[in-house]
């Protein structure tokens, strides 16, 4: 592999904390050692620290699963190497055939929240102008869509954390709902240390997660509410804030609308009722409310409360609680959601979502269409309307009226999508699956054409982290073999498809175009350029041309035209799936420190695999013994979708009515064979966090 000179100041390829690192070429390298040395770099989010995944990230650069040549599936199911011309021409032929038979929408695109801003932008533009399809959505639908929908309703703007993470350092109380940063963003714990030391770390999680363990010995509070009862919990907390006279009246009068309707909507959630539904004692609820009302408090949500069929309303209830207490937009306090993927924030702003155009604009808005069409140099009427959200898009694969040809850029849905067995079956029905990836992962293995790309350390671009900070990803190495940049692939395909729009391949040029397309939109990047990002000053969007960085967008006003935040009353609903027989348990899924998402990348790293080689289920000792199970025994987890087996680990910190499975493992170890594809009616986010299973000894 050819290498350029070392010392690139870049950021980790994985999560939204976007820890800063420096990549250097080792002076000498023993066989088997990574191509680059990784060093943590001082930066506000990570202060020089990295987690295990970050430290080992360079191992993936030349991992055995790397693809470096275009691959085309043969009739016998094997892959043959192809030239770029052969592979791209084949893709174009397949697109034309699919659209000739089924119309423009017969071709779909599934994107990812790990793509740089430039690639996410180009992918959305590619779908609308080169493919002319409305059928584009992405894995952020699985991740951020409920929190985003709630924030848009309340604040008129969706920026995950509307403040820099360093603001949390001075917090005295932090209420973390369904978020486990001790495993999912370890360096972030540094920002919670002040609250923890003050006894104000409050964690809501049905299991004693690594984060909940930080509250041991009475230095904080762990509420092990029953899975899927967070909405009731939050309604109950809001009731108590009002009942105990803890509402910040001055704030509510000056900065919000809709208080009266909210007050009525929580009237019936008196503490004893809330306790009965959630399993959290009423005196604990009172203690939480008192702490939150003492000031210097933050409320943060994670996937544990959002990945439910009522996830939007649950996030909304968390915002309502925060508004009652006067937290959002107040110095020293706040509300936010913990964005997950590396570019989970930017990925939801630049147009890979079914209903969106760049700048977080609505694709149904005629003015937005006209603005973006002018930047793209196309007729506004040629831009398709809204498509369908992720679960529906994946389910439509190979179905009548659905997509017969699908592009996947930056996701591994046969492992990470809900009810993954059905997704795999749907993909088998596709005429053509095109996967653009740097690894031959689980989804790529099913592809008809695999297009090999550069990975993180081999490309330039920008990412937007969990605090809305725009960062530079920098290239430290040439891509291996024939791997090409994704921008080049999109440009080549667009040209061959006769796209009316022009596609640049240089990230900086694309960033300039993205800025123009976003100008005047909610996520306005038009004032940002690469030179600025190379400096030391933090850059947070919105940043309009001629304007400045916005670290705290709600400091003076919220995003609605009247500048006020809206209380949006919400109601508790029954979960689509709830244990109803004594032998049924809640299945909760989530993450391990060592693995990232579908595991496509981290399963390539021997050190991480040695630590977590396969699926292990966690359950309470009583639950296990009632089924004749002991530590290490293999149990069978079953529901009407699938049945999988896994060894068990006993943990007295998990609720006895709940079992936990990580979703990082492939094949028969895939937790998503059991999860439900029921979705939230507002955000279309699937219900990853509550399915029903029975458990028996194998």
Ligand X SMILES: Nc1nc2c(c(=O)[nH]1)N[C@H]1C(S)=C(S)[C@@H](COP(=O)(O)OP(=O)(O)OC[C@H]3O[C@@H](n4cnc5c(=O)[nH]c(N)nc54)[C@H](O)[C@@H]3O)O[C@H]1N2
Binding site for ligand SF4 (CB under 6 A): 12, 14-15, 17-19, 46, 50-51, 53-54, 185-187
Distance CA 429, CA 425 (A): 7
Distance CA 634, CA 646 (A): 5
Distance CA 167, CA 128 (A): 39
- Closest by CA to 328, choosing from 291, 361, 367, 299, is 299
Q: Which two tokens stand for residue 158?
A: 């969706």
Q: What residue 187 binds from ligand X, ligand SF4, Mo ion, none (CB within 5 to 8 A, per partner kind)?
A: ligand SF4
> Nearer Cβ to ligand SF4, position 46 or 134?
46
453 lines the binding site for ligand X (CB under 6 A): yes
Characterize the bridge pairing of strands 461-464 and 71-73.
Answer: unpaired
Contact present, 388 and 396 (Cβ < 8 Å): yes
> Nearer Cβ to ligand SF4, position 16 or 678?
16
Q: What residue 350 binds from Mo ion, ligand X, ligand SF4, none (CB within 5 to 8 A, per partner kind)?
A: none
Greatest CA separation found in the chain?
71
> Nearer Cβ to ligand X, position 180 or 320?
180
Q: What residue 351 binds from Mo ion, ligand SF4, ligand X, none (CB within 5 to 8 A, per partner kind)?
A: none
Q: What residue 410 binds from ligand X, ligand SF4, Mo ion, none (CB within 5 to 8 A, per partner kind)?
A: ligand X
Neighbouring C-beta atoms of residue 379, cutoff 10 Å: 11
> Nearer Cβ to ligand X, position 153 or 207?
207
Distance CA 238, CA 651 (A): 32
Q: What residue 304 binds from Mo ion, ligand X, ligand SF4, none (CB within 5 to 8 A, per partner kind)?
A: ligand X
- To ligand SF4, the closest distance from the beta carbon of 144 in angstroms equals 16
- To ligand SF4, the closest distance from the beta carbon of 344 in angstroms equals 11
Beta bridge pairs of residue 644: 637
> Nearer Cβ to ligand SF4, position 16 or 436?
16
Q: What residue 139 binds from ligand X, ligand SF4, Mo ion, none (CB within 5 to 8 A, per partner kind)?
A: ligand X
> Nearer Cβ to Mo ion, position 105 or 158?
158
Q: State the residue for tokens 């495993």.
A: 183
- To Mo ion, the closest distance from the beta carbon of 341 in angstroms equals 5
- Between the alpha carbon of residue 616 and those of residues 185, 373, 397, 428, 631, the distances in Å are 21, 50, 31, 29, 11
- To Mo ion, the closest distance from the beta carbon of 309 in angstroms equals 17
> Nearer Cβ to ligand X, position 179 or 265?
179
Residue nearest to ligand SF4 (CB): 54
Q: Is the peptide bond before 452 cis (omega within 30 degrees of 0)?
A: no
CB within 8 Å of 343: residues ≥ 6 apart = 16, 113, 114, 115, 116, 117, 120, 463, 464
Q: Which residues of 497-513 are buried (b: 16+ CB within 10 A; e: fewer)?
A: bebebebbbebeebbbb
Distance CA 34, CA 26 (A): 9
> Nearer Cβ to Mo ion, position 340 or 413?
340
> Nearer Cβ to ligand SF4, position 12 or 570?
12
- To ligand SF4, the closest distance from the beta carbon of 466 in angstroms equals 10
* CA-CA-CA-CA dihedral for 292, 293, 298, 304, to nearest 10: 40
- State the binding string over 36-75 for ligand X (x if CB under 6 A, else -): ----------------------------------------
| Options 28-36, 226-234, 246-254, 523-531: segment touching ligand X (CB under 6 A) | 226-234
Give the count of residues interacting with ligand X (CB under 6 A).
65
402 lines the binding site for Mo ion (CB under 5 A): no
689 lines the binding site for ligand X (CB under 6 A): yes
Which phi and psi angles does 648 have, rounded to 5°? -110, 150
- State the binding string over 121-160 for Mo ion (x if CB under 5 A, else -): ----------------------x-----------------
- To ligand SF4, the closest distance from the beta carbon of 646 in angstroms equals 25
- List the interface residues with ligand X, window 139-178 (CB under 6 A): 139, 142-143, 177-178
Contact present, 17 and 466 (Cβ < 8 Å): yes
Distance CA 412, CA 604 (A): 14
- List the interface residues with ligand X, window 283-302 (CB under 6 A): 302
Distance CA 229, CA 225 (A): 7
> Nearer Cβ to ligand SF4, position 47 or 284?
47
340 lines the binding site for Mo ion (CB under 5 A): yes
Beta bridge pairs of residue 207: 654
> Nearer Cβ to ligand X, position 383 or 466?
466
Burial class of residue 404 in the structure, from the number of CB atoms within 10 Å of its CB (0-12 exposed, 13-18 middle, 19+ buried): buried
Distance CA 162, CA 404 (A): 40
- To ligand SF4, the closest distance from the beta carbon of 551 in angstroms equals 20
Q: What residue 601 binds from Mo ion, ligand SF4, ligand X, none (CB within 5 to 8 A, per partner kind)?
A: ligand X
112 lines the binding site for ligand X (CB under 6 A): yes
Distance CA 347, CA 444 (A): 21
Residues near Mo ion (CB under 5 A): 143, 340
Residues near ligand X (CB under 6 A): 15, 112-115, 139, 142-143, 177-181, 183-185, 204-207, 209, 225, 227-228, 230, 302-305, 307, 340-341, 409-413, 415-416, 436-439, 441, 453, 486, 588-591, 593, 595-598, 600-601, 660, 663, 671-672, 675, 688-690
């Amino acid at each position: 592999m050819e290498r350029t000179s070392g010392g690139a100041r870049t950021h980790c390829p994985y999560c939204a904390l976007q820890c800063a690192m420096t990549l250097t070429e080792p002076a000498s390298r023993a066989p088997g050692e990574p191509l680059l040395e990784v060093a943590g770099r001082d930066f506000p989010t990570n202060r020089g620290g990295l987690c295990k995944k970050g430290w080992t990230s360079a191992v993936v650069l030349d991992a055995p699963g790397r693809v470096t040549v275009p691959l085309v599936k043969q009739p016998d199911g094997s892959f043959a190497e192809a030239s770029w011309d052969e592979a791209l021409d084949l893709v174009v032929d397949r697109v034309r055939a699919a659209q000739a038979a089924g119309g423009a929408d017969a071709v779909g695109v599934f994107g990812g929240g790990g793509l740089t801003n430039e690639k996410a932008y180009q992918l959305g533009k590619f779908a609308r102008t080169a493919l002319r399809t409305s059928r584009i959505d992405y894995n952020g639908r699985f991740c951020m869509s409920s929190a985003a929908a709630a924030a848009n309703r309340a604040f008129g703007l969706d920026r995950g954390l509307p403040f820099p993470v360093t603001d949390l350092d001075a917090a005295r109380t932090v209420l973390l709902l369904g978020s486990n940063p001790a495993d999912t963003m370890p360096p972030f714990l540094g920002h919670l240390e002040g609250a923890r030391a003050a006894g104000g770390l409050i964690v809501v999680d049905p299991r004693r997660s690594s984060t909940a363990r930080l509250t041991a010995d009475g230095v904080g509070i762990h509420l092990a509410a029953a899975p899927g009862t967070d909405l009731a919990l939050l309604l109950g907390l809001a009731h108590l804030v009002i009942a105990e006279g803890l509402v910040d009246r001055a704030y509510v009068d000056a900065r919000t609308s809709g208080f009266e309707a909210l007050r009525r909507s929580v009237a019936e959630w008196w503490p004893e009722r809330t306790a009965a539904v959630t399993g959290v004692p009423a005196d604990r609820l009172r203690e939480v409310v008192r702490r939150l009302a003492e000031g210097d408090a933050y409320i943060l949500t994670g996937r544990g409360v959002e990945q439910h069929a009522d996830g939007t309303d649950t996030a909304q209830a968390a915002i309502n609680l925060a508004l009652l207490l006067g937290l959002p937009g107040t110095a020293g306090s706040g509300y936010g959601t913990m964005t997950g993927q590396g570019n989970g924030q930017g990925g939801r702003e630049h147009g890979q979502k079914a209903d969106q155009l760049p700048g977080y604009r609505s694709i149904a808005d005629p003015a937005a269409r006209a603005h973006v069409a002018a930047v793209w140099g196309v007729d506004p009427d040629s831009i398709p309307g809204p498509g369908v959200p992720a679960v529906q898009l994946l389910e439509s694969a190979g179905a009548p009226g659905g997509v017969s040809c699908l592009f996947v850029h930056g996701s591994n849905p046969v492992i990470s999508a809900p009810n993954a067995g059905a997704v795999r079956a749907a993909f088998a029905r596709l005429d053509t699956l095109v996967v653009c990836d740097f690894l031959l992962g689980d989804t790529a293995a099913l592809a008809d054409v695999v297009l090999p790309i550069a990975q993180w350390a081999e490309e330039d671009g920008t990412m937007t982290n969990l605090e809305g900070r725009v960062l530079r990803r920098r290239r430290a190495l040439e891509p291996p073999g024939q791997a090409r940049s994704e921008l080049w692939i999109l440009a080549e395909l667009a040209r061959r498809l006769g796209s009316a729009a022009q596609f640049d391949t240089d990230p900086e040029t694309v960033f300039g175009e993205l800025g123009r397309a976003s100008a005047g939109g909610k996520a306005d990047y038009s004032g940002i350029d690469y030179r600025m990002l190379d400096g030391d000053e933090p850059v947070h969007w919105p940043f309009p041309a001629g304007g400045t960085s916005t670290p705290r967008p709600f400091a003076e006003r919220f995003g609605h035209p009247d500048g006020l935040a809206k209380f949006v009353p919400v109601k508790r609903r029954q979960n689509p799936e709830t244990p109803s027989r004594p032998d049924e348990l809640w299945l909760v899924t989530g993450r391990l420190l060592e693995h990232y998402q579908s595991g496509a990348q981290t399963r390539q790293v021997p050190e991480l695999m040695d630590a977590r080689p396969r699926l292990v289920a966690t359950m309470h000792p009583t639950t296990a013994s009632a089924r004749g199970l002991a530590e290490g025994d293999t149990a069978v987890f079953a529901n009407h979708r699938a049945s999988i087996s896994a060894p068990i680990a006993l943990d007295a910190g998990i609720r006895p009515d709940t079992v936990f499975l990580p979703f990082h493992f492939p094949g028969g170890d895939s937790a998503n064979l059991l999860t439900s594809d029921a979705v939230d009616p507002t955000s279309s986010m699937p219900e990853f966090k509550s399915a029903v299973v029975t458990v028996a000894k194998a």
